[in-house]
Amino acid sequence: MNPNVLLIDDSLSVRVSLQHALTAAGFNVTACDSGASGRKALRTGPYALLLIDVHLPDANGIEIALEARAFPPTAKTPIVILSAECDVPHRVKGLNAGATDYIGKPFAPTFVVKRARQLTEMRSSITAGNNAGSGPLRLLLVDDSPTFLNAFADRLRTEGHDVILAKSGSEALTFLAVQPVDGIVLDVFMPGISGLETCRRIKNTPAWADIPVMMLTGREDSIAKATGLTAGVDEYVVKSTDVTSMAVRLGELLKRKRLEKAVAKTSLSSRPPPEKPPSSKSPDSFRGPMSAVLDKPPSSRGSDALRDSARPISSSELGFSQRGPDSTRDSSRLAALMERAAGRASESTQTDLSRITIAPETARSPDSGRDPKSATSPLFEQVLSVCGLPQFIGRSSLKRAFERAGVDVATLTPEGLARGLGEVRQTLCIFLPAPEAERHMVSIAGLSRKSA
Closest to 344 measured CA to CA, from 334, 327, 360, 356: 356
Is the pLDDT higher at 299 or at 185? 185
Binning pLDDT at 50, 70 and 90, where does residue 434 land?
confident
The pTM (predicted TM-score) of the whole model is 0.51
Which pLDDT tens digit goes with each residue over 258-306?
Answer: 888 777 776 666 666 666 555 444 444 444 444 444 444 544 444 444 3
Taking CB atoms within 8 Å and a gap of at least 24, the contacts of 152-156 are: 152/185, 152/243, 152/246, 152/247, 154/243, 155/243, 155/244, 155/247, 156/247, 156/250
Predicted confidence at residue 28, as pLDDT, reads 93
Residue pair 83/104 in contact (Cβ under 8 Å)? The answer is yes
Indicate the fold that domain 138-264 takes in CATH.
Rossmann fold (3.40.50)
Binning pLDDT at 50, 70 and 90, where does residue 313 land?
very low
Residues of the chain with CATH 3.40.50.2300: 4-127, 138-264
Is 146's pLDDT higher than 50? yes
Q: Which range is most confident: 222-231, 269-278, 322-331, 346-355?
A: 222-231
Across the chain, mean pLDDT equals 75
Predicted confidence at residue 193, as pLDDT, reads 87
Is 130's pLDDT higher than 90? no
Percent of the chain with pLDDT over 90: 22
**CB within 8 Å of 89: residues ≥ 6 apart:** 171
Is 388's pLDDT higher than 70? yes
Which pLDDT tens digit goes with each residue over 318-331?
Answer: 333 333 334 333 33
Is 39's pLDDT higher than 90? yes
Output helix, strand, coil percentages for the chain, rounded to the nearest 5: 50, 10, 35
What distance in Å separates the CA atoms of residue 75 and residue 46, rounded to the nearest whole number? 11
Residue pair 420/408 in contact (Cβ under 8 Å)? The answer is no
Is 6's pLDDT higher than 90? yes
Is the pLDDT higher at 449 or at 404? 404
Mean pLDDT value across residues 145-169: 89
Residue pair 247/163 in contact (Cβ under 8 Å)? The answer is no
Closest to 136 measured CA to CA, from 90, 104, 91, 175: 104
Predicted confidence at residue 133, as pLDDT, reads 46
Q: Is the dihedral of CA 65, 70, 73, 77 positive or negative?
A: positive
**Would strands 138-142 and 162-166 be described as parallel, antiparallel, or unpaired?**
parallel
Binning pLDDT at 50, 70 and 90, where does residue 222 land?
low
Is the pLDDT higher at 112 or at 390? 112
Is 314's pLDDT higher than 70? no
Residue pair 131/263 in contact (Cβ under 8 Å)? The answer is no
DSSP state of 25: T
- Around 2, how many Cα atoms within 13 Å sit in the side-chain half-sphere? 11
If residue 170 lies in a helix (H) or strand (E), which one and from where to where? helix 169-176
Q: Which range is most confident: 248-262, 283-297, 344-358?
A: 248-262
Is 126's pLDDT higher than 60? no
Mean pLDDT value across residues 166-172: 91
Mean pLDDT value across residues 94-115: 87
Backbone angles phi, psi at 102, to 5 degrees: -140, 115
> What is the 3-state secondary structure of 224-268?
HHHHHHHHCCCEEEECCCCHHHHHHHHHHHHHHHHHHHHHHHHHH
Is the pLDDT higher at 33 or at 401? 33
CATH architecture of 4-127: 3-Layer(aba) Sandwich (3.40)
